Amino acid sequence: MSFSTLKLSLILCGLSLMLRYQRWRHEAFRQRLSERNFTAQIMTRDEEIGRWFEFKNGNIRSGFGLHPAPDCKLMFKNATIGAGLLMPPIDWLRQINAQKDFVLSVDGPEDLTNWFAQTVMMSQSAGLKIGTRMEDGSMRYCNMTNGGPVFIYVKDGKVVRMTPIDLAEDDGASWTIDAKGVKLTPPRKTTLAPHGQNAKSIIYSPDRLLYPMKRVDFDPNGARNPQNRGKSGYVRISWDEAIKIVTDEIKRQKREHGPGAIATSHGSHHTWGNVGYYLSALFRFANAIGMTRVHHNPDSWEGWYWGAVHHWGYTLRVGQSETYGTVEDCLQNCDLIVSWAADPESTSGSYGAQEGTVRRQWLKDPKLAIKVVHIDPYFNATAQFLPGKWFAPRPTTSVAMAMAIAYVWVKEGLYHKEYVATHTVGFDKWKAYLLGEDDGVPKTPEWQEKETGVPARDVRALARDWGKKRVYLAPGGWGNGHGGACRNQTGIQWARVMVCLSAMQGLGKPGCNMGNLQWGCPLDFNFYFPGYSEGGMSGDLENTAMPVELYQRMPQLPTMNSNAQTIPRIWMPEAITEGKAEGYRWIGKSIEHQFQKFGYPAPGSSPVHMLYKYGGSILSTMNNTNRWVKMYQSSNLEFVVNQSIWFEGEAKFADIILPACTNFERTDISEWAGLGGYGHHGQQQLNHRVIVFQAQAIEPLGESKSDFWIFNEICKPLGLANYFSEGCNELDWVKRIYLASDLPKVISWRTLLKRGYYVVPAEKEKLRAPVSFRWFWENRKKDVPEAQPLPSDYTEEYLRGLQTQSGKLEFDCNSLKRVNDPERPPIVKYQPAEDGIHSPDFARHPLQMLTPHSKYSFHTQGDGKDSFLLNIEDHRVNVEGYYYWIMRLNADDAAERGIKKHDLVKVHNDRGAVICAALPTQRLPRGVCHGYESSAVYDPMGEPGKSVDRGGCLNLLTPHKSQTKSTHALAGANALVQVELWDRRIEHMSETFAAMEKDSEIKRSLKEARLVPAK
Amino acid sequence: MKKWNMIVDVAECTNCNLCTLATMDEYVGNDWPGYSKPMQKHGHKWINILQKERGQVTGQSPMIDIAYVPTMCNQCDDAPCIAKSGGAIKKRDDGIVLIDPVQAHGRKDLVDACPYGHIWWNEEHRVPQAYNFDAHLIDQGWQQTRGHQSCPTGAMRAIYIEDENMQRMALDEGLEVMRPELKTKPRVYYRNLWRYAKCFIGGSVSAEANGIVDCVEGATVRLLRNGLLVDEATSDNYGDFKFDKLDENSGAYVIEIEAAGRAKKTVEAKLGVSVNLGEIRL
């Protein structure tokens, strides 16, 4: 016996001892072993050595040599390779290479080989001590919500409470900023967003899906009745039946229709965690199956991606700027913050909980001498918190206000002429436009007043104040873009003009930058932990940020989608119902990628006939969403499966529903606000970097399962389970992410599991990241810690200059000169919105409705579900026993309509009608009303598409056209509506369904007239 | 001896509702024997955030602010509810008022005993309930309430100090209690309550020159009542001025505006609630 064979036989013997020991020691492992009766063989392919393992009724027998009739085999090419691969600790790169080189293989039924591999892996982690035992006998675990980390206390298998984390003395140190003689340091605790603190109520929601279900009138082998989706009820089925129906259908779709027939669609967010995230497990699964992708529009970036990039680049931040060091610079050097369509107190920097709140609170200290002004049609939560002048332009018009500010600067010499001369190009052309030299219309404060309703004198006063001060311009919730006005019909113009204003005032000069203290904290950015967009276990190098760093650090099998077809998301209903759609790419590699047009169907691909839908948010997050109702009822969709945690939204339009559990019922690992990719160093918005081992706190409710488990089970009949899981369990993937990060240098695996979290100490003052754009201001090489733009995208010299063709801030954009797009001219010009005061529809629908992101829920997360949030009167209000969504409108507009507080009103236009509870207010000027988008509840009172919705889905009413013809950009943050007291009628025909009925009427009459040739 | 008090800063409350959510998290679905039956999932507001919008959008010139006031059981030292309860509601040595969930069973009458409306009837458990300062956590050694812990701005702070120190602090820092005329001796104190309870008169001064209307900065604005000077302000760069902390329904005022090179202008205002006079052209 050679040394290798001896070594391998010893390892295999050790494995059998390990399995038996863990069986003896741990009940959970005993239970696992009782799941299957079979014999597995581990052997070398040359049959030189082997060991068999017999699993029977929960017992294990094992013997040396080759079993005469094993049910499955795990084979190494030879003993040297086998010994190398099995010798702990596991070397993942070696494992992956062994599979790629075909020296490690499995043989046998997928279910058995996968079960065996996962059981072997499980034997290593069985009995690990997770969580901290408290004095009262409860266990304390950690987890991560979309709104911050939590301690989660569990007793008798039930969640008792969730709290933010008060940092311990031995947790990583905090930072201190010295500004104008004031020492500023954040409190030693984490914060939660309201939807984070709400989490317990959505775990135990009565709307949880607790078992797989089938639509009552769906028969996969008979009548499928797609027209009844959204109307019919459901019956409980077993997991076996559900998996069989789904996998049979996947095979049938491929067999009968060919590649492209199956599409997958997910929301823009998911429950937190790097393994269970949609960019992780779902992408690996979808790539393994082969699916038509639904190509997302750049959601909250929109105007920045399609507009701002042409002025300054930053495509790898989707058009938003770098933000390093801005908290310190702002506090030390800035005189005035101009908050423009920005409400960080409501939007929490997306995932940043209330972390920015304490920093903005510092602005109230008169010693800092920083004033704030707010420009937003709604007197938003940030304006409420930080006193300052409020400007209330009509929605979609503040582009004109910005131009008038620039006009005043030009006329009165209040801009940085030297900077404009040395750091920008094309100013003269834009200046001529401002002065009206090319179109005869000077963009004066008086000119803008007609558009915006903001008094000219106020705009002039702001322009003069701004022109004399050091100003942080804060557009959008992140302070450097994101959300706000970039999502309406003039969003591209708005983002563009924001960059132009910054360029005129010396972007990068001390005190002159973009930001509102939401991003830019002085943390340690050299400590690596992957962001969620780095793709976790997806293996997807094309559609996640994995190639940047995670792929090298966490070797895994790459996954590639064999389907070339993609659907532009905002046109998905048209793609399905009309069979064609066109869109433009959201790819951050360069400015020019956005000009790539793509069409559906892709040449040679099958049209989509099956939809694998993940979650149910679309009806309230896309626009004019009765189109989706129509799509779901189309016979072109032969099969719809929805994998969801709650029975809401689109889940009610599925044929088969697969119940997923929440992140509190599975295991995962993550960093708070760790975005990666397009949100590189998203932790900048936190006061402390917090990395969390997301312990499974309770058993999944009912028969709900983790997404990982569901995908793995579906993969089994398709022979893909070992490819999907790499033989690992979720906890093994969590450990692989831990090993890929810098955590092992500072905290052991066992300590992390027990303690639950790790705080990365703040960076030493001397090592803090430099201030963004300071390098540009000082004509130095770029020195902030972001590897973007791509090296090839510099013009003169690597790291010198911006991503634009000139390397400078471009008023006259070179990248737009090469395309002839009348809606996006090379200089930014004001073009009024289609749905605005100039619209022909304005007479019938005279209110401009704003639909920003909600203050309390996170998109659909946290809303509905009988959650705690329903008790917040500014979120929903109970009228006659039903929790209605709030519609705010100017008190005089309300009085004119006879509307009082909490009256039920019908908010409507041709696209649909939504019943809301009215809230008359002075927070809006005349002619503007306000209701949050993203209600989780879609509740048509009659037939979907033909009746009023009382769930609050205001996106039923918003326009779905892209901002411009040559972009794929949401424009739905503003719509024209009428609001009136509800007359209690429930019928309301949407134009989508009216057109459908008209179509079928025409078809019927043609048929009756025998003008349609028989098939 | 030290006792518990709550200090709420109205100027720092953002209506984030984390205190109300944390309280629901603590009590809904949890039975704390000796302290509290589970809280109803809906319908109870043990912490109830009042709000007030002040000011208006007048013409095209908005001037408003909004105050939020978290209210709760005031943990009164002379609590009417205790007097009425016959022992079912107790004053603990540490100042906390606790409704005994067993002794108070069926005592719906106690709901009306609170002049602040902060006792809630739980129909399922047939027991009156109120915010009890998270007494079960305090007894486990917590140094803060759930609402205090979750508050991002420090607008809600539970403090444990001697009564005399609390009184001194209230005096020094101008802290107020709700409806002191009731003489219930609340232990919940408010800072900047004027943001909710008082009102303002504001406006924007402008002037025309060469066909252009501009804001007037530096105008002297005087507030008079019955011919007597109440306050004086200077308009800011937007021409804005604001006289605050005035009493609601305090009647007629006169505002005099003087700016260099302009004739004095006088405007009358009658205060019911806060009023934004809008643009005042000199």
Any chain B CB within 8 A of the CB of A197? Answer: yes
Nearest chain A alpha carbon to B54: A922
Question: Which of A868, A878, A922 shows the shortest C-beta gap to B57?
Answer: A922
With a cut of 90, say whether residue A1008 has pLDDT above it: no
Nearest chain B alpha carbon to A922: B56
- Look up residue B36 and give its DSSP letter: B
CA distance A161 to chain B (A): 6
Mean pLDDT of chain A: 96
Question: Which of A345, A379, A387 shows the shortest C-beta gap to B14?
Answer: A345
Determine whether the interchain pair A197/B22 forms a contact, defined as Cβ–Cβ distance below 8 Å: yes
Nearest chain B alpha carbon to A878: B43
3-class SS string, B114-177: CCCCCCEEECCCCEEECCCCCHHHHCCCCCCCHHHHHCCCCCEEEEEEEHHHHHHHHHHHCCEC
Band the pLDDT of A1013: cuts 50, 70, 90: very low
Any chain B CB within 8 A of the CB of A404? Answer: no
Determine whether the interchain pair A354/B16 forms a contact, defined as Cβ–Cβ distance below 8 Å: yes
Q: pTM score, two decimals?
A: 0.97
Which residues of chain A are within 8 Å of residue B65 when distances are taken between CB atoms? 384, 387
Any chain B CB within 8 A of the CB of A879? Answer: no
With a cut of 70, say whether residue A1014 has pLDDT above it: no
Choose from B9, B18, B120 for mutation: most chain A CBs within 10 A.
B18
CA distance A385 to chain B (A): 6
Q: Is the peptide bond before A89 cis (omega within 30 degrees of 0)?
A: yes
For residue A38, CA distances in Å to A35, A112, A278 come to: 10, 8, 34
Q: How far apart are CA A695 and CA A706, in angstroms?
A: 13
Taking Cα atoms as reference points, which of A532, A559, A543, A735 lies closest to residue A96?
Answer: A559
With a cut of 90, say whether residue B10 has pLDDT above it: yes
CA distance A157 to chain B (A): 13
Predicted local confidence at residue A998, as pLDDT: 80
Nearest chain B alpha carbon to A871: B42
Q: A9: alpha, beta or left, given left = phi > 0 and alpha = psi -120 to 50?
A: alpha
Which residues of chain A are within 8 Å of residue B209 when distances are taken between CB atoms? none
Structure tokens at B273: 């609630």
With a cut of 90, say whether residue A707 has pLDDT above it: yes
With a CB cutoff of 8 Å and minimum separation 6, the contacts of A824 are A306, A307, A310, A492, A816, A964, A966, A967
Beta strands in chain B (DSSP E): 2-9, 48-58, 61-71, 89-91, 97-99, 120-122, 127-129, 156-162, 188-191, 199-209, 212-215, 220-225, 228-234, 240-246, 251-258, 265-271, 275-281
Nearest chain A alpha carbon to B214: A457
Question: Which of B42, B56, B279 shows the shortest C-beta gap to A870?
Answer: B42
With a cut of 50, say whether residue A1015 has pLDDT above it: no
Determine whether the interchain pair B25/A392 forms a contact, defined as Cβ–Cβ distance below 8 Å: no
Which residues of chain A are within 8 Å of residue B34 when distances are taken between CB atoms? none
In the block, tokens 């982690």 appear at A125
What does the pLDDT average to over A378-388? Answer: 98
| Interval B65-103: pLDDT, tens | 999 999 999 999 999 999 999 999 999 999 999 999 999
Predicted local confidence at residue A1010, as pLDDT: 64
Predicted local confidence at residue A394, as pLDDT: 98
CB atoms within 10 A of CB A290: 17
What does the pLDDT average to over A18-23? Answer: 96
CA distance B28 to chain A (A): 9
Choose from B14, B54, B244 for mutation: most chain A CBs within 10 A.
B14
Determine whether the interchain pair A194/B150 forms a contact, defined as Cβ–Cβ distance below 8 Å: no
Determine whether the interchain pair B41/A866 forms a contact, defined as Cβ–Cβ distance below 8 Å: yes
Question: Which of B61, B64, B237 shows the shortest C-beta gap to A465?
Answer: B237
Structure tokens at B260: 């260099």
Q: How far apart are CA A287 and CA A278, in angstroms?
A: 12
Any chain B CB within 8 A of the CB of A240? Answer: no
Mean pLDDT of chain B: 97
Question: Which of B15, B66, B214 shows the shortest C-beta gap to A460?
Answer: B214
Taking Cα atoms as reference points, which of A903, A923, A949 lies closest to residue A624?
Answer: A949
CA distance A5 to chain B (A): 59
Question: Which of B20, B64, B213 shows the shortest C-beta gap to A456?
Answer: B213
Determine whether the interchain pair B240/A389 forms a contact, defined as Cβ–Cβ distance below 8 Å: yes
What does the pLDDT average to over A215-238? Answer: 97
Q: How far apart are CA A420 and CA A428, in angstroms?
A: 10
Determine whether the interchain pair B153/A357 forms a contact, defined as Cβ–Cβ distance below 8 Å: yes
Predicted local confidence at residue B267, as pLDDT: 97
Determine whether the interchain pair B140/A454 forms a contact, defined as Cβ–Cβ distance below 8 Å: no
Instruction: Judge whether B192 and B11 are in contact, CB under 8 Å.
Output: yes
Choose from B16, B156, B192, B215 for mutation: most chain A CBs within 10 A.
B16
What is the number of CB-based contacts under 8 A between chain A and chain B?
143
Question: Which of B18, B41, B238 shows the shortest C-beta gap to A194?
Answer: B18
CA distance B145 to chain A (A): 11
Any chain B CB within 8 A of the CB of A385? Answer: yes
| Bridge partners for A669 per DSSP | A693
| Interval A504-529: pLDDT, tens | 999 999 999 999 999 999 999 999 99
Any chain B CB within 8 A of the CB of A926? Answer: yes
CA distance B265 to chain A (A): 19
CA distance A457 to chain B (A): 5
Determine whether the interchain pair B17/A465 forms a contact, defined as Cβ–Cβ distance below 8 Å: no
- Rg from Cα positions in chain B: 24
Which residues of chain B are within 8 Å of residue A454 when distances are taken between CB atoms? 60
Which residues of chain B are within 8 Å of residue A375 when distances are taken between CB atoms? none
DSSP string, A86-104: HSSSP-HHHHHHHHHTTSE
Determine whether the interchain pair B64/A390 forms a contact, defined as Cβ–Cβ distance below 8 Å: yes
Determine whether the interchain pair A925/B214 forms a contact, defined as Cβ–Cβ distance below 8 Å: no
User: What number is the ipTM of this complex?
Assistant: 0.98
Which residues of chain B are within 8 Å of residue A872 when distances are taken between CB atoms? 17, 20-21
CA distance A179 to chain B (A): 20
Determine whether the interchain pair B15/A923 forms a contact, defined as Cβ–Cβ distance below 8 Å: no
What does the pLDDT average to over A723-743? Answer: 98
CA distance A900 to chain B (A): 16
Which residues of chain A are within 8 Å of residue B146 when distances are taken between CB atoms? 161, 163
With a cut of 70, say whether residue B232 has pLDDT above it: yes
Residue % of chain A over a pLDDT of 90: 97
Predicted local confidence at residue B13, as pLDDT: 98
Question: Which of A197, A392, A924 shows the shortest C-beta gap to B150?
Answer: A197
Catalytic residues of A: 269, 299, 532
Choose from A458, A865, A872 for mutation: most chain B CBs within 10 A.
A458
Question: Which of A166, A197, A890 shows the shortest C-beta gap to B18?
Answer: A197
Instruction: Judge whether B187 and B95 are in contact, CB under 8 Å.
Output: yes
Predicted local confidence at residue A1006, as pLDDT: 67
